[in-house]
Chain A
Amino acid sequence: MAAICLKVKEKTEVTTTYFLFLRKRSQTAAAMAKLILLLLKCILFCGTVYAVFEDQVGKFDWRQQYVGKVRFCHFDGHMQSSKKVLLATESNVFAALNTRTGEVLWRHVDKTGPEGNIDAFLQNGQDSVLVVGNGRVLRSWETNIGGLNWEVVLDSGSFQSTCLVGQQGTVKNVAVLKKTAISLHYLSNGHQKWIENLPDSDTVDYQTVYSGGNGEVYVLGVVPHSHIAVVAFSVDDGEILKQSSVEAPWLSSIPESCQIVDQEMLICVDSTTMSLYTLDLTLQLQMNQIPLQSLELEVDPDFRPSLVSHQPNPAKQPLSEFFLQLGPDRYVLLQFNSGQIVMLRDFKPALLVSFATTGEKTVAANKLELTCSLLDFGTQIWNLKIIKLASTINLYNAETGRRLLDTTLIFTMDPNGGKPERLNIQAFLKKDDSVGYRVMVQTKDHALTFIQQPGRVLWTREEALSDVLTMEMVDLPLTGTQAELEGEFGKKTDGLMSMVFKRLSSQLILLQAWIAHLWKLFYDARKPRSQVKSDISMENLSRDEFNLQKMMVMVTASGKLFGIDSKTGGILWKHYLENIPSNAGFKLMVQRTTAHFPHPPQCTLLIKDKDTGLASLHVFNPIFGKMSHVTPPALPQPILQSLMLPFMDQDYAKVLLLIDDQYKVSAFPSTKYVLQQLQEMAPTIFFFLVDSSQGRLSGYRLRTDLSTEQIWEVILPTEIQKIVSVKGKRPNEHVHSQGRVMGDRSVLYKYLNPNLLAVVTESTDLHQERSFVGIMLIDGVTGRIIHEAVQRKARGPVHVVHSENWVVYEYWSTKSRRNEFSVIELYEGMELYNSTAFSSLDRPLVPQVLQQSYIFPSSISTMEATLTEKGITSRHLLRIVSLPKMFLDPRRPEMASEQSREENLIPYAPELMIRTEWFINYNQTISRVRGIYTAPSGLESTCLVVAYGLDIYHTRVYPSKQFDVLKDDYDYMLISSVLLALFFATMISKRLAEVKLLNRAWR
């Protein structure tokens, strides 16, 4: 049996339900009939229908919440003791993290795609202002509890820039610059104060908005390679105060090369003329050129210099100090001082720089504005043959460029991580008015590391896990002793005596281990419970009794690989692959499992650039994450298809075949033995290619010289329909029941074709009357179309699950405007054609096809079928709602008859109700589930399920209940006492019978 996992998009809230029973009872009294309304109020808590008991929450499952790659970050600075950092991410998430623990305090997940994209994030006191969806919505959040203050929908127009506008020291407004207009909103309620059209917006590209707190809002635009347009608006009524244009033929983009410092002073840097340009926005005369040479500075060749400035308070002018980046590792701190630019300090080598401000406690001599730079000395300390990259962070006073005492922070970076990308400094004043700070480092692998002085890492978040693309579960290795026993059988036999000795020695080792284990148990039992740690580390990684604990190997979009313990969710290893193209596709394959001791397990990751088709292989050990010593072959040609063959080389590694665009096949590993095997098996190796742009499905056969020949071709005209997905069966699934026993005791045999492909197409015509979803079942070896059906008036997205002898797909019915499920089952009939083996080449009869459809009351984002060790357990369709496959059965009869009752068929009902106990994640919401992975465990009843997306959730499901596990509250005492009593009763009665017999014999 099997189950299907789908994910319901809506958050289902479990609320208290009240059932009102209204009962009318007429009372027949002597004279009059009185009507008494009886109100019965039953309060039922839905919590009682959870699939898990309350005390089981979190016992078998865990959830990890992520926010995604950070785009904007602000420390909550309105209070000195705040413990919050606010993040706006590229996954359209706005969240607050606890800076002490790194946990998510609250999180808001917006729509995916450009609609929920966070364009800008401004922080003012307790309020966070966000511009979302290319300037569609302006939102203000309260940062303490994450509540929404207000939300306004902005006028259409593509978003350019935004800034806070202050007056007389307080910030009251926010300005939003769009392509053609600028609007000013109140911070308190979001109401629009004024909106003004921008002059000449068809020629001028307005890019930046700025306010220095003096009652004016400057909008800066550029006509590329011609001039800068400056418009000053009055904050009060939006009146244009000044308008001018200044020649700047070298400028193309203001945000990239310009910054505003000091009092309305625009500073730009140009790499062609190697100069700084300054422009006073209040006077707007002309740009003042300052060659970098006059400052004795030089830009690294082929480097585009950039500027970093800082405005600590939007109601006040920015600092007059700014950074100029001259090379990948060189920054200079410059100061603009009454028309002159003075160099304060040269930072070389410096990897990253950042400004931070703290406290407005006093306006005294305390220098509150600080600069900070991360100096990467590149020190490679050779320590135990591990390269440690130590990085140093120092604080400098911004006004003088002098280094502050006791502010050095040294930390070592993860050698398996990426390089730092951004620094976020949280500076604070200590009691003695000296400056302390904490730093959050963002690295290229999307990790966040929070470090405290003098270099203590408080927490690390692996945000790469918010974007898992594919994953595999690998069995953990056996313990050393178990492996020893296994190894005994693996090696070649060398004489009887040595075998006996080997056996004895391994038994001794086992005994020793057992005694050690007992001793440890005894020792631990005396300690208080809290001290007994059950943490998992690399050293004690081993398979548990029922193989419920596995290693989850996850591949993320950033190119970082993770090894996660499935029991606790702890990250055991990570490995960052650099130089991964941004549009890479990944395919993870397990070439060798842990079953072949002493050969280490081996996983291969195929990384393919989706544009060029060029691919590379990364071979690693899935348990420890280490690169394998096996060198993968170089792949000069674009790869079309890869497939794992079921046979292994002499080292028990499955053979991976790669087909390049010349239809040539290369094997990995490509030893002589493998090539020989391939030559022998070539006529039986078939594969297929799908070209959805041309609607072409073609089958190929391998030849002995490792070239291929096309043997079949099916072409779907692309003007009618396009192929959206092709699903085969999972190679590791087992089917143990060959047929179904019918009501009349005959057997209906399943059509179990392992080569069957389900091809789903969608019509190109999207008109709701003419659109359709096509489903085609094709044999992948012969190209024979087994079944072809169209679901009319239906539209995608279509989700398909293909397993055993059935295909389940879900689509959107345009006619009825609802989600519908359809199930197709294939049966051979009452007789099996060839019961010994299945061959696609010898199956002339077409199977019987049964199909039924159902209404599903919710939308689905992903769907998967459960998988168990032996395939005995009934399948469920998982969707975080675990839906028993029993409900999706085309043999559900219209009318319940005697026979169908015998078969346990549920009478047909068009609607599939979602029962609350089907939600396997009970009240734990999982955001944006992208995929569900199912894996068998050592227990037949149990299937491990991992849902990944923005969050990661792992749990166990029992599609046929826990038939092979004794319950927790199983009464061992009762059963053993009954057994004992029976045993003694037998003994006694036997004795009595003997005595009786003896007596009778004497008589």
Chain B
Amino acid sequence: LRVPKRYRHPALEERLSRRRTAQEARSLLRCRRAGIPAPVVYFVDYVTNSIYLEDIVDSVTVQDHIYSVQKSGDDTSSFHKLAEKMGELLARMHDEDIIHGDLTTANLLLRPPTEKLDLVLIDFGLSFISGLPEDKGVDLYVLEKAFISTHPDTEMMFQALLKSYAATSKKSGPVIKKLDEVRLRGRKRSMIG
């Protein structure tokens, strides 16, 4: 039984403008209604632009999880399953036309117990709604770069993630294509500007 914490953990810094706050709240609601795990919104304060969110108790970030498994020399084959689940989750998110905007392994939480691979997406501060494959491709590219820079020796992971993404998303073709294009360009910008 997960007891909802009362109004704790303002998850948002005050420098965010009202529009960003509204966008984040909107994305969070949109995720939840589509069954995509994201924290519950308890209260939105438009005066300080803070969002009070559910506290995912005793969770670890995927980032920390990868570190600790690698550090302890544990079997990294579990990473494959984790990557698959990540790919699946992101595919579902993108199919709802939700662009996260800041995909990193620090913005993906694992609920306890970690072995269950129960993922929760957090930090939608830069999120927006878009159906464009370019935006989705960039979203994935950001994650890929984050993977490469933060987690050495995880190339297979991202591959597995993409495979799972492609298998789950109905619209993945154009997205992967755009991802390839963005990789070639080496930047995360849309040429449409």
* A and B found bound together: no
A interface residues, Cβ below 8 angstroms from B: none
